[in-house]
Amino acid sequence: MQCFGLSKRNIENAYEEKKIEPDNIILTRHDIERIQLFMTERDTVDRIYINFCNPWPKPKHRKKRLTHTKQLMLYREFLKENGEIYFKTDDDGLFSDSLKYFEEAGFSVMKKTENLHENNIFENNIETEHEKMYSEEGKTIKAVIAVKREIE
């Protein structure tokens, strides 16, 4: 997968410039349904970034979305209490549906914007290649910060 290799090189270069070893990053090419194969109960994360994932616009494919309730419930298993999901997309349908998915899966939307470049809700937004490309095409970037809450 070309994207995986590029991400790996970018991370290695960034850490090499600082002359430190990466110690808090895991890159994987697995389907989310297989995440339990390499994440155990002891493995926890503070934050998950979901950037410009496939919007799967057809109704019959929506369960494949990385922000679908089904996937969010898997993330809950290794996301720390009060852990966060940072989500960015250019797709209006995915954005509005994801807001519902977050609620269904026991996440509180702490911040959201329908135009990230006018209202940057991220502390240190790192502009991805897709973000730059879509912005140059005139598309607005939507973003959410959702926090894991206890399910009642």
Q: How confident is the model at residue 145 (pLDDT cuts 50, 70, 90)?
A: very high
Query: What is the arrangement of strands in the sheet containing 107-113, beginning at the earlier edge strand?
Result: 45-51, 79-89, 142-148, 107-113
Domains and CATH numbers, the chain: 1-30 (no CATH), 31-148 (3.40.50.150)
Q: What is the pLDDT of residue 49?
A: 92
Higher per-residue confidence, 38 vs 132: 132
Q: What is the pLDDT of residue 43?
A: 84
User: Region 125-152: what's the mean pLDDT?
Assistant: 92
CB atoms inside a 10 Å sphere around CB 89: 24
Q: What is the pLDDT of residue 4?
A: 64
| Coil, helix or strand at residue 114 | coil
Q: Does 3 have pLDDT greater than 60?
A: no
Cβ distance 70 to 32 under 8 Å?
no
User: Region 133-144: what's the mean pLDDT?
Assistant: 95
For 109: left if phi > 0, alpha if psi spans -120 to 50, otherwise beta; the answer is: beta
Q: Which two tokens stand for residue 127?
A: 């502009």
pLDDT in tens, 65-114: 999 999 999 999 889 999 999 999 999 999 999 999 999 999 999 999 99
